[in-house]
Structure 1
């Protein structure tokens, strides 16, 4: 009896990427075609409610290739949720997440699979070189190291979402109930055997990046707040330091007044500045607490991780069950 070849799921989140769909499909098929003697492949596209021809192109691909499965969301739920939904739809023995812009080279698929066959549950790409602006490179360098410094567990630096995860990791992710997932950190802190593969990231040739500075900041906040309580501790320490300085100032002022009979001129500007500084500090500390409380609120609401509006290349029975899974993914049902 011929043994069944392992199924590998290629998970691809997309949003307004009509110019990249076909080049990506051709490039990945060229690489996976070299491995068809060893593996079977499927494509799992998650479309974050694109406003261009992205989903019609995916529908055409699904009609031509039965390995292609595409899910269109009812609105834009964000990049991390899109990846998470792709993982929950993946049927493979392992899943490889690839960006459709081809900045992460499909040529590394074979290397990732080799490490997986040797026992690794997670194989991730480590970006040693990027063909991006120096400012964006600097922002990413600071971000990754800040996350690693603040996190209570080790998170690889310069590693993005280009990774392979085993079926064991996929099944564990399905059990998580995270309203605002940060998959880089979540997967990194799971443990098991994890291997980093260095590579040079390509430049984007078609379309525009979907990660402006504001979204990078939002991603940074998700990473920090999802994997660290250090900001809360810093708030406590900062409050204690301010309290000690205030106490010392009161003692010093009282001593000078009683012992040395010092006369202090009225200082309206100084008092106003100190009052404004105090208000600013309190607002900052309350903002940090509010970020954590906001995430707790979102978690307790138990809303769907994503909502699927349309599908392509998915059997009717699979469609119904998968939609139910999406709707209840945060409630544990």
Structure 2
């Protein structure tokens, strides 16, 4: 096994009792056909309330390549995924969702691109199994986020990606209460390349990402990688202030210089007051989102508590600092 390159496959799971066994069979079966690579399969169980953990425990009991990290509570998709990357000990790590909407059959292609010298290889969704409205919203969000962000974020890229041990070493330093990994990894630099693929429909279980969680993820992505909302608040406040000053000057000039008797303007005054209150509430909400993230970070409750960890004592084929990642790519 020492002459084989260790690859960590990170699979986040939450109430996926209908999918975990299939995910294990397909991923393990794929690596059985790859003689140059050894598999480390890391499942992160986000405190599932169904039979997900018992099934993972049974799998880990018969296959020492399978590691299971179960959290003491649900910490959210992104934080559980970050822990999975931080636990990975391979020369590279591949993240794939438990529902296998991202086809495992593309993993050999990703490994080939990694061996060519790329530290990050990510899938670009050519089509989505969602309805037209949801698919359009997803694509619009990715395009808008890239336009607003100070970082160069790939459009239509999800979580299906390979990262080199160099990137994993940097992720181990991250202690973020509200991480947005696809943006965080993109902002790190290195050599990153995408490839197009078609995302398949879920075959087992139900989606764990309702509209509310999609909106929350979108907010994390926007607020973690852009100060544009704060700048919009500042510029809008400045513009409203200028307009108010000019309007006041206009009324005073008409009244004092030209003796204009303006009619009572109850409706106008009411509308202006309501507009001011609305703008204040909206922009205080934006500031509050940033302050809330600062509070969570300063509070220090950013590391998920691990309730149980199975098969954690497997010898590692990766070095700690990730400096020699190019050499490891060329092994095997």
| TM-score interval, smaller chain | over 0.9
Looking at structure 2, the residues matched to 260 and 211 of structure 1 have their Cα atoms a distance apart, in angstroms, of: 63
Look up the SS of the partner of 1:240 in the other structure.
Answer: helix
Instruction: Please say if 1:288 is aligned against 2:286.
Output: yes
Q: CA deviation at 1:311?
A: 2.2
1:121 matched residue in structure 2: 119
Looking at structure 2, the residues matched to 250 and 314 of structure 1 have their Cα atoms a distance apart, in angstroms, of: 70
Counterpart mapping for 1:1-333 below 5 A: 4-35=3-34, 37-315=35-313
CA contact (8 A) 2:120 2:164 kept: yes
2:322 matched residue in structure 1: none
CA contact (8 A) 1:8 1:92 kept: yes
Q: Which runs of 5+ in 2 are unaligned?
A: 317-332
Looking at structure 2, the residues matched to 315 and 153 of structure 1 have their Cα atoms a distance apart, in angstroms, of: 38
Q: CA deviation at 1:139?
A: 1.5
Look up the SS of the partner of 2:101 in the other structure.
Answer: coil
Looking at structure 1, the residues matched to 245 and 221 of structure 2 have their Cα atoms a distance apart, in angstroms, of: 36
Q: CA deviation at 1:115?
A: 0.8
Look up the SS of the partner of 1:50 in the other structure.
Answer: coil
Q: CA deviation at 1:182?
A: 0.6
Q: CA deviation at 1:204?
A: 0.8
Q: CA deviation at 1:51?
A: 0.6
Looking at structure 2, the residues matched to 235 and 49 of structure 1 have their Cα atoms a distance apart, in angstroms, of: 39
The runs of at least 4 aligned residues of structure 1 exceeding 4 Å deviation read none
Bigger mean CA offset, 210-219 vs 266-275:
266-275
Q: Deviations over 1:277-299 (max 9, x none)?
A: 10110111111111111111111
Which structure is richer in relative contact order (CA contacts within 8 A, separation 6 or more)?
A: 2
Q: CA deviation at 1:133?
A: 1.0
Looking at structure 2, the residues matched to 316 and 302 of structure 1 have their Cα atoms a distance apart, in angstroms, of: 30
Q: CA deviation at 1:312?
A: 2.4
CA contact (8 A) 1:128 1:198 kept: yes
Look up the SS of the partner of 2:161 in the other structure.
Answer: strand
Looking at structure 1, the residues matched to 63 and 146 of structure 2 have their Cα atoms a distance apart, in angstroms, of: 41
Q: CA deviation at 1:136?
A: 1.3
1:326 matched residue in structure 2: none
Q: Deviations over 1:291-328 (max 9, x none)?
A: 1111111111122421111222334999xxxxxxxxxx
CA contact (8 A) 2:39 2:65 kept: yes
Looking at structure 1, the residues matched to 2 and 38 of structure 2 have their Cα atoms a distance apart, in angstroms, of: 12
Q: Deviations over 1:191-211 (max 9, x none)?
A: 110010110000011111111
Q: Deviations over 1:240-270 (max 9, x none)?
A: 1101111110111112212332222222222
CA contact (8 A) 2:7 2:39 kept: yes
CA contact (8 A) 1:58 1:312 kept: no
Q: CA deviation at 1:29?
A: 2.1
Relative to structure 1, is the Cα distance of residues 316 and 309 closer, same or farther in structure 2, using a 3 angstrom cutoff? farther
